[in-house]
């Protein structure tokens, strides 16, 4: 088999005289494609922030999940949460969310982890730690307090949480 290169194409001549043309991108095209993919990945992850994760969780809970005082400012809380991108702000807002949840909204297992969770939330200094705490909190909220749309939204929420946990 003989091989010859023709202007960005590889032409293979087989022993019976048939030719196959296979397009091989230039190294510049490959570099550009890699750069574009990396840029798209960065754009996707930059749109995911810990504050929006907490805001999404809050927005997908029914009003019955919250104390009366928290219910009054739920929309303001969500707006504030959505703008937080740093660990300190996220830790603070997550603690506020936990404090605004009615005791009845939490499952039986929450009592066993609550004190440890609060201690960890007070000292969380990385976004991935706060993301982990958000996941723990969400897992201990009784299912009946989530809006019906949460079942469809939850997988994407968990994927975003996992992105931030890395």
The pLDDT assigned to 48 comes to: 74
Q: Is the pTM of this model over 0.75?
A: no
Q: At residue 47, does pLDDT exceed 70? A: no
Q: Kindly report the average pLDDT of the chain as a whole number.
A: 83
Number of H helices, E strands in the chain: 8, 3
What H or E segment, with its residue span, contains residue 111? helix 110-123
The tally of CA atoms less than 13 A away on the side-chain side of residue 106 is: 17
| Alpha carbons 91 and 71: distance in angstroms, whole number | 20
What phi, psi does 124 have (nearest 5°)? -65, 125
The tally of CA atoms less than 13 A away on the side-chain side of residue 134 is: 32
The pLDDT assigned to 166 comes to: 78
């Amino acid at each position: 088999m003989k091989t010859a290169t023709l202007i960005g194409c590889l032409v293979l001549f087989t022993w019976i005289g048939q030719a196959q043309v296979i397009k091989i991108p230039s190294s510049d095209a490959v570099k550009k494609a890699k750069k574009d993919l990396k840029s798209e990945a960065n754009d996707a992850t930059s749109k995911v922030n810990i504050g929006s994760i907490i805001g999404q969780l809050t927005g997908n809970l029914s009003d019955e999940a919250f104390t009366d005082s928290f219910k009054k400012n739920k929309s303001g809380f969500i707006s504030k949460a959505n703008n937080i991108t740093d660990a300190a702000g996220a830790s603070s807002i997550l603690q506020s969310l936990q404090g605004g949840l009615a005791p009845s909204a939490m499952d039986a297992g929450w009592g066993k982890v609550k004190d440890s969770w609060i201690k960890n939330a007070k000292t969380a200094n990385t976004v991935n730690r706060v993301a982990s705490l958000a996941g723990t909190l969400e897992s201990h909220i009784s299912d009946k307090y989530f809006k019906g749309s949460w079942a469809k939204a939850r997988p994407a929420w968990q994927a975003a949480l996992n992105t931030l946990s890395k």
